Chains A and B, each alone.
Chain A
Amino acid sequence: MNETERELITMVLSGRSEAFEPLVTPYRGPILALAYRLTRDREDAREVAQEALLKAFRSLGRFDVSRSFRNWLFQIAANEARDRYRKRSRERAAFDELVDRAPSATTGSAAAGPEAGRDRQELRAGIMRSLAALSPREREVFVLRDLEELDIRETSRVLGCSAISVRVNLSTARRKIRDAIRRDLPHLEEKR
């Protein structure tokens, strides 16, 4: 944590709430991106990010200044996303069931290969859909370690679990993603 952040936190804690905006502005993009990667839903991501920042404000007095402020914000956002996931898991399960029953346009045209006119954007969406195969914990670990590029220790601190738990979940997540890509996007394998 840098000196400016330390000063801004002191100001907020002494009652100058206007210092909160410059404190969190550098992280507004990253926190929304993290929320989106965890929830895979734009509206949910906005709500998660907003709620996380409000919670950060409310609990700033409990922030340990020896820690990274960004990682602390990530921790709050990850908790918020997890809570939201639990609340919505029933709705999602019903929705996913419907999607699974519908014929998958991605898989069909992916099997036909890039020659079939699939553009890069659809391919990206197909790859990102492989994250749906992950459990909430696996997704958190994968997003933080591989997409946000935190190291194992930072990831374990953000998620409040041990390093070994991060490694086990990360291993499973990577294997599932590799299997999903191999199964749903076989032309990517053939290209190599």
Chain B
Amino acid sequence: MTCRKVRKLIPLIAGDDLRPGLARAVRAHIDACPRCRAELEGFRAALAEVKSAAKAEGVPEWGEGEWKALMARVAAEAKKAGGSAGGVAVPSFKPRWAAASALGAVIGLAILSVLFRGPSPRPERTPGEIGMVIASDNPRQDRIAIIMVSPESGLQVVWFLDKNFDFKGEQE
């Protein structure tokens, strides 16, 4: 691993935020490289300064009156919602509205099913007719991997897509 690559990963190794395999490789380099080690120590010290400043910094606190007023608002909301569960207003449909909604949904679905019918069966094509084969009987060609590398941090992520270009997962 080169110094350049390690320097990109130092902000993450400073907080132990690299996955174990990569962290081992970075640490092995840092152990042997005094300049990268100094850079890492600089990052760790800066992080420690910020953490310590944040801990010592006064954060606002609730006034008791303010807290009681907030809880009173919660109670008022609960009352307004008619005592329904946790102030969560559960919509209460009257039967005729429920029937009208159901009817509307059925009609909507019927229209959608007419408008968006599935594709008709495709004619069989021989590989020779197609310029580029993305999907084939070979399972190795049914999976597409896209590798992206962050230029700033040097981190890379691999996205896997299936033959329909549906996202199937990622791997760092």
Contacts and interface: CB of A to CB of B under 8 A. Distances in A.
A86 to B, nearest CB: 22
B145 interface: no
A167 B152 contact: no
A76 B90 CA distance: 20
20 contacts: A9-B86, A13-B88, A15-B85, A15-B86, A45-B59, A60-B88, A61-B88, A124-B56, A125-B57, A127-B50, A130-B50, A146-B51, A162-B170, A167-B12, A170-B12, A171-B150, A171-B155, A172-B152, A181-B46, A192-B42
B35 to A, nearest CB: 15
- Chain B interface main SS type: helix
A123 B71 CA distance: 37
Interface of A: 9, 12-15, 17-18, 20-21, 28-29, 32-33, 36-37, 42, 45-46, 49-50, 53-54, 57-62, 120, 123-125, 127-128, 130-131, 145-147, 152, 162-164, 167-168, 170-172, 174-175, 177-178, 181-182, 188-189, 192
B170 A164 contact: yes
- Chain A interface main SS type: helix
Nearest to A14: B85
A147 B55 CA distance: 8
Interface of B: 8-9, 11-12, 14-15, 17, 41-43, 45-47, 49-51, 53-54, 56-57, 59-62, 66-67, 70-71, 73-75, 77-78, 83-90, 150, 152-153, 155, 157, 170, 172
A61 B125 CA distance: 53
A163 B17 CA distance: 10
A147 B51 contact: yes
Nearest to B87: A57
A174 B51 CA distance: 12
Given A17-B75, A53-B70, A170-B17, A32 B61 contact: yes
A117 to B, nearest CB: 19
Contacts of A146: 15, 47, 50-51
A152 B66 contact: no
